[in-house]
Amino acid sequence: MADQAETAALRETQLEALEHQVAGHGGVMRVGDGKVIAKPLIQREQEFYEASAQCAKFKAFMPEYYGTLQQQVGGAADGNATAAGPSYICLENLTAGYEKPCIMDIKIGSRIYDIDATPEKAERMLKKAQESTTGSLGVRICGMVVPGAAGQPHDWFRKLTPETIRDAFAMYFSAAGSMVSAEYRRFVIKQFILEIEDLAAVIRSVETRMYASSLLFVYDASKARYDQLVSEGQCSSKSDSGDSDDSDDAEEDEESSDGLLDVKAIDFAHSHWVPGQGYDELYVSGLENLVEILRSLLVIEEPAGGE
């Protein structure tokens, strides 16, 4: 199924609740061995994924899309009839293979209401945005999972301000420093900066509107996996030897992050391709503010962790 972008059918026993869903409306399921997740189907989101397949540079920043499935409920192995259950879109699980996944969901852009929102809903969503960092920064942390750190309720993230949001980001990256090393923490942050800058360049070259869309950050805080990948030459043991941002360093960093981290744009229930209307300036502004926040974290010194 993971190789085909088409409708498939699965028995209900092949779906399990996703362990690490950090935000959203719930209902995301783990399929089979966990390399694929099934998210409740929203037609507009399905259409956006399928239309985005025509733009390779943008598609590279989305989870791999495998089509849809129809869950079958009822019946039994003796051949009794089954009934059609919920429909899902199938996407790659970005944390598959990670031993200690650190996950963060961030809403990007200062507008969170769709093009067909009623005036009443638009006003309500505008007020909601102004009450959080969505309105001021175009960046809002929806939730995170960090091994070894106490979880925070979603309302805690909503109450963050432009002055306190950096502390929440620091909390997210703390596991990289405490479980692996301070060097790894810096490496992870620099990799995310590079990825987001590349995404911003792509967004400036396409004509989309992505309202209430998120970025999903994932990295592995497993020292064992980090050491293994370093020893196998699959990643660099140092992300940089200084603060230089020249292109050679950038290319080396990009090549060295395989298997340790990823960041993808997700949640497209209010997203559209809009030919002739230019790029999404509000989304890009949010990305630029996000980069500034991450750059500020590079000056925060943390003690080296790991054994």
**What's the pLDDT band for 33 if we cut at 50, 70, 90?**
confident
Q: pLDDT (tens digit, 9 = 90+) per residue, 237-262? A: 444 434 444 444 444 444 446 689 99
The total number of structural domains in the chain stands at: 2
Residue 221 has pLDDT above 80, yes or no: yes
**What's the pLDDT band for 307 if we cut at 50, 70, 90?**
very low
Same domain for 68 and 26? yes
**What's the pLDDT band for 13 if we cut at 50, 70, 90?**
very low
Q: Is residue 118 a part of any domain in this protein?
A: yes
Q: Is residue 112 a part of any domain in this protein?
A: yes
Same domain for 79 and 122? no
Q: Which one has a higher pLDDT value, 299 or 159? A: 159
Q: Is residue 1 a part of any domain in this protein?
A: no
Same domain for 108 and 223? yes
Q: pLDDT (tens digit, 9 = 90+) per residue, 125-148? A: 999 999 999 999 999 999 999 998
pLDDT of residue 88: 93
**What is the residue range of 85's domain?**
8-92
In whole numbers, what is the pLDDT of the chain averaged over residues? Answer: 85
Same domain for 198 and 269? yes
HEC readout, the chain? CCCCCCCEEEEHHHEEECCCCCCCCCCCEEECCCCEEEEECCHHHHHHHHHHCCCHHHHCCCCCEEEEEEEEECCCCCCCCCEEEEEEEEEECCCCCCCCEEEEEEEECCCCCCCCCCHHHHHHHHHHHHCCHHHHHCEEEEEEECCCCCCCCHHHHHCCCCCCHHHHHHHHHHHHHHHHCHHHHHHHHHHHHHHHHHHHHHHCCCCEEECCEEEEEEEECCHHHHHHHHHCCCCCCCCCCCCCCCHHHHHHHHHCCCCCEEEEEECCCCEEECCCCCCCHHHHHHHHHHHHHHHHHCCCCCCCCCC
Same domain for 30 and 119? no
Q: What is the pTM (predicted TM-score) of this model?
A: 0.84
Same domain for 153 and 219? yes
Q: pLDDT (tens digit, 9 = 90+) per residue, 68-84? A: 988 777 655 555 656 77
Q: Is residue 303 a part of any domain in this protein?
A: no
